[in-house]
């Protein structure tokens, strides 16, 4: 793994080996999250003996994983055999306000692990990794009764992701000017609840598939949010002056995205806005999280992809919409505001 030298000082052999072994680091991170180690470190440094006992783990095996995570800056070791939290590992705690635990665990669940393994076949065929792994779209596979655990993990993982990005979106964009905010494909409503806290006079509409809406906590949503079970390829709630699409557009090819955007453009208020909340791929080839997520879309979806600003411009124009502005946030996503052309 990484030595004390900077990445630029590594030999080509060392650099390649670090990349090739990267999956091991990923699995070690999610393994300690599943064992609850970050939660055990919440109150201060702990010895490896106590961590192993409390986590129900083998002391030697856990210690070997922990020393790797120390070397990578994910865990701290203030004294030999004693481990402590860092700002990175704190995000793996269940009760952290911006927890990413469930998201991390999701990325090594079967729905993700098996599909990325199919990348060579996906590249050869031009078909998604999920079609090679499961013979069907991911959403269909997740709806099978025997995969309920995977479905639940996906939903909790995406809610985990929303905990950080939703706050970033709410603080970076002015929602107070809207009266009726519709969250299209809004899951269990975390983003909508966060946004409404910044728009006290607005009401919200949470729109998703009936099975997803059924899992939303109505007490948490409160009386300002109306729940609508619908397939956004068929219809969306009418008369919103703000329609949010967070991590929806990147799931689909242009034709299906255009269908969703057409449905919105047809029923939105004349002066309404469509907010696409997604990553914007840079035009230049620089290290950026959007490139990694783009490969996730390649293997996980049929046609999903990350897009550049120009690609968003073209997609919106094809649905009779115009990109007005892009608002960066202190997270990987931006808010793209569009109006009727």
Tokens of 52: 């192993």
Q: How far is CA 306 from CA 112, 164, 334, in A?
A: 17, 20, 12
| Nearest-angstrom CA–CA distance, 229 and 137 | 21
Residue 156 CB-half CA count within 13 A: 14
Nearest to 297 by CA among 318, 284, 279, 315: 279
Tokens of 107: 């990325």
Instruction: Please give the backbone phi and psi of residue 269, each rounded to the nearest 5 degrees, phi first.
Output: -60, 145
Per-residue HEC secondary structure of 236-281 comes to CCCCCCEEEEECCHHHCCHHHHHHHHHHHHHHCCCCCEEEEEECEE
| Nearest-angstrom CA–CA distance, 39 and 263 | 44
User: Given 112, 132, 247, 250, which residue is catalytic?
Assistant: 250
- Which H or E run includes 202? none
CB count, 10 Å around CB of 234? 9
Question: Is residue 250 annotated as a catalytic residue, yes or no?
Answer: yes
Tokens of 309: 């600003």
Question: If you count them, how many residues does the chain have?
Answer: 341
Measured torsion, CA atoms of residues 263, 264, 269, 271, in degrees rounded to the nearest 10: -120
| Nearest-angstrom CA–CA distance, 320 and 268 | 12
| Nearest-angstrom CA–CA distance, 208 and 188 | 9
| Nearest-angstrom CA–CA distance, 215 and 158 | 14
| Nearest-angstrom CA–CA distance, 192 and 203 | 10
Q: Which residues are catalytic?
A: 250
């Amino acid at each position: 793994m990484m030595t004390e030298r900077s990445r630029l000082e590594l030999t080509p052999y060392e650099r390649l080996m670090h990349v090739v072994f990267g999956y091991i680091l990923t699995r070690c991170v999610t393994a300690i999250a599943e064992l609850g180690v970050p939660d055990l470190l919440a109150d201060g440094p702990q010895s490896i003996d106590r961590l192993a006992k409390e986590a129900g783990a083998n002391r030697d095996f856990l210690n070997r994983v922990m020393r790797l995570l120390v070397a990578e800056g994910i865990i701290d070791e203030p004294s030999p055999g004693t481990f402590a939290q860092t700002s990175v590992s704190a995000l793996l705690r269940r009760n952290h306000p911006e927890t990413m635990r469930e998201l991390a665990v999701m990325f090594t669940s079967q729905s993700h692990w098996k599909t990325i393994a199919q990348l060579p076949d996906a590249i050869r065929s031009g078909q998604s990794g999920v079609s090679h792994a499961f013979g069907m779209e991911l959403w269909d596979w997740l709806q099978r009764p025997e995969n309920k655990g995977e479905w639940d993990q996906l939903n909790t993982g995406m809610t985990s992701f929303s905990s950080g990005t939703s706050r970033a979106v709410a603080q970076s964009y002015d929602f107070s000017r809207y009266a009726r905010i519709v969250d299209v494909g809004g899951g269990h409503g975390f983003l909508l609840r966060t946004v409404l806290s910044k728009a006290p006079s607005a009401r919200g509409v949470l729109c998703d598939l009936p099975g997803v809406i059924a899992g939303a906590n109505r007490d948490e949503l409160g009386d300002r949010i109306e729940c609508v079970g619908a397939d956004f390829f068929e219809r969306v709630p009418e008369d919103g002056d703000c329609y949010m699409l967070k991590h929806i557009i990147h799931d689909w090819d242009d034709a299906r995205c255009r269908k969703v955007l057409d449905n919105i453009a047809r029923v939105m208020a004349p002066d309404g806005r469509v907010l696409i909340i997604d990553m914007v791929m840079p035009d230049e080839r620089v290290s950026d999280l959007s490139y990694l997520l783009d490969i996730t879309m390649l293997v996980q979806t049929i046609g999903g992809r990350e897009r550049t600003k120009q690609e968003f411009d073209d997609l919106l124009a094809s649905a009779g919409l115009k990109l007005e502005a892009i608002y960066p946030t202190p997270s990987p996503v931006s808010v793209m505001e569009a109006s009727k052309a």
